[in-house]
Amino acid sequence: MANLAEALAASLESEGLTTMRVGDRTTLFGVEFLRIDLEGNRTMQPVMLGMLVSVSALVLAVSLERLVRRQRREIAVLRSLGTPSRTLLVAYLLPPVVMGLLASLAGVALGTQMTEAFTPYYFSIVGSVPVIDVIHDPAVWATTVMSVMAIVIIFTLWPAWSAVRMSPLEVDRRDAESAPACWCTG
């Protein structure tokens, strides 16, 4: 370290500089703030992402399950008429998959636009940090869209599969077993 200091002093003297202040980056507010922000992001991002994925998967599964339960008579009629299982499976998987694809593409586009606007604002708050270019990685876009589609397919497959396995006789038996409430029969 002493050799480095001597070499630096000699180089500065050759340029005509006699005094110099040396400090490390931890004395700069902006750099230290970014380091702390990065550590917090690394800690909290998986937790927040896990919560968002769990909630969205639960909403998808519950919504489609309720749809299948509401339409069980229609499904039974279609099955009685000889509708192939594959047709029913596609009918219950296609709308969530199309909506998931559109939503993920819209999310990637919106996220791209938001980062373009937010990054300069963020670094203006931090201060003393040079302007940073916003670089969008197509691999991240593809990973995002594929992850959303995997979640959509996985969590809508079970309700769609239950619609396919539904037997017309089972639906009729459930309807016959459910007696009307005593207050409405008189």
Q: Are 167 and 79 in contact (CB under 8 A)?
A: yes
Residues 106-156 pLDDT 10s:
999 999 999 888 888 887 777 666 667 788 889 989 998 999 899 989 888
E strand map for the chain: none
Domain contains 112 = yes
- Does the pTM exceed 0.85? no
Q: Count of domains in the chain?
A: 1
Domain contains 3 = no
What is the predicted pLDDT for the residue at 25?
59
Domain contains 94 = yes
Residues 56-89 pLDDT 10s:
888 888 888 888 888 888 888 888 888 898 998 8
Domain residues for the domain of 123 are: 52-176
Domain contains 68 = yes
In percent, how much of the chain has pLDDT > 70?
A: 81
CB-count exposure of residue 7 (10 Å: 0-12, 13-18, 19+):
exposed
Residues 23-43 pLDDT 10s:
665 556 666 777 788 888 889
Burial per residue of 21-58, b for 16 or more beta-carbon CB atoms within 10 angstroms, e otherwise: eeeeeeeeeeeeebeeeeeeeeeeeeeeeeeeeeebee
Chain length of the chain: 186
Amino acid present at 60: L
**120 vs 115: CA distance, rounded Å:** 9
Residues 80-99 pLDDT 10s:
888 898 998 898 889 999 99
Domain contains 67 = yes
Where is pLDDT greater, at 171 or 7? Answer: 7
**Average pLDDT of the residues of the chain:** 81
